[in-house]
Amino acid sequence: MSDILVIGGGIIGLLTARELVQGGAAVTLVELGETGRESSWAGGGIVSPLYPWRYPDSVTALARWSQRLYPKLCADLTAETGIDPELTANGLLILDPQELEPALAWAATHGTEVQLIDSVQLHEAAPELAVRPPTAMLLPAVGNVRNPRLVKAARRALEGRIALREQEEVHAILAADGRVAGVRTSRGLIQADQVVVCTGAWTARLLDPLGQRPDIAPVRGQMLLFKGRPGQINYTTLWREHYVIPRRDGRVLVGSTLEQTGFVKEATAQGRESLQRAAVELYPHLAHTPIEAHWAGLRPGAPGGIPYIAPVPGTAGLYVNAGHYRNGIVTGPASARLVADLLLGRDPVTDPAPYALDAPRLSDGGAGASSLRSGR
């Protein structure tokens, strides 16, 4: 029997398992399908919340800690596996004029660099860009990772270090006398004295039979990938809730829609058209660039965008690390460290109180099960 059982093999589960192994625990990870193939694979990989000033300080705390760790994390994963997550610090360019005042106030509070760029400077920096507000903002330190490569590297780094069980569905969490005992899966029983649930949008379903249902629900997001050429787009660009991300090889990722469709994950023609229109408004040359792929994923939305990273009340040994909404990549390292601290009895890397299951969460701060505000 492993010391700790991790349920869910997205980036949150993989990084949680990594932190636990590095802390000396024996770990089993169970994943319904293939590791990293749900929202972790489907997202954009921006190592920042979109419009970060819209989020509570509890989300900012996780994001900033993770941002500081990312260069070392990616370097370590590359050295361990030979898979480079392609962390690229090309900056986040924001074109929405109405965001200027709150952005500058947030930046002053948190000590974040924001550069103001006039339309002439913007043309020089991004000549392909068609949208030129009088003043744009650049967060120069913001990078992005190629998230499919990140999850591949995280999985590869765990091979031989944990018991990895893919294509195995967890049907129920087992408890006795107020304590977790393990899980019942499609292949039988797995005993465990400590279990951490990292199942994203599916978390509420799994915990509901125990009388603890976190306010997490799926929010569909569709993505579009253009097969461009290197150097055509210089910055990750954000405008009117849509973003354009240039990859090192010239591919351009465009996202994303926000749709409350339950667990329906299919991509739609309407979603494709809206993303293509947004991309071409920003960068007209994309109208003549082949579209390579179009897909959808299910984000784990939670009120205020605040994840649940905490013990589950009433069931000793049971923990949850889920509900990261659009910010699983950027907050993943800190979330994994925090839940590992709680499981292993270490001093927590940040105050865990805001992430408790019964902690107050803003109803309008971020998208979640009970509230969806445009752009969050």
pLDDT tens track for 8-25: 999 999 999 999 999 999
**In-domain check, residue 369:** no
Rounded to the nearest 5 degrees, what angle is found at the Cα of 324, between the Cα atoms of 321 and 327?
Answer: 135
- Rounded CA-CA distance 192/176 in Å is 12
Contact (Cβ atoms closer than 8 angstroms) between residue 366 and residue 302: yes
- Rounded CA-CA distance 101/109 in Å is 13
The residue type at 299: R
Establish whether the linkage from the previous residue to 256 is cis, with ω within 30° of 0.
Answer: yes
For 71-135, give the DSSP string. HHHHHHHHHHHS-----B---EEE--GGGHHHHHHHHHHHT---EEEEHHHHHHH-TT-----SE
**In-domain check, residue 29:** yes
Three-state DSSP class for 254? strand
**In-domain check, residue 308:** yes
**In-domain check, residue 45:** yes
Task: Give residue 77's pLDDT band: very low, low, confident or very high (50, 70, 90).
Answer: very high
Sheet with strand 195-197: strands edge to edge: 163-165, 27-30, 4-7, 195-197, 318-322, 308-311
Tell which residue, 39, 33, 40, has the closest CA to residue 7.
33
Tell which residue, 8, 32, 16, 39, has the closest CA to residue 166.
32
pLDDT tens track for 81-94: 999 999 999 999 99
**In-domain check, residue 365:** no
pLDDT tens track for 341-376: 999 999 999 999 999 999 999 754 444 333 322 232
Q: Which two tokens stand for residue 188?
A: 């039988």
**In-domain check, residue 241:** yes
Residue 362 confidence (pLDDT):
73
Please give the model's pTM, rounded to 2 decimal places. Answer: 0.94
Number of domains in the chain: 1
**In-domain check, residue 366:** no
Task: Give residue 278's pLDDT band: very low, low, confident or very high (50, 70, 90).
Answer: very high
CATH number for the domain that contains residue 206: 3.50.50.60
The residue type at 167: Q
Domain containing 283 equals: 4-355
**In-domain check, residue 297:** yes
- Rounded CA-CA distance 90/107 in Å is 19
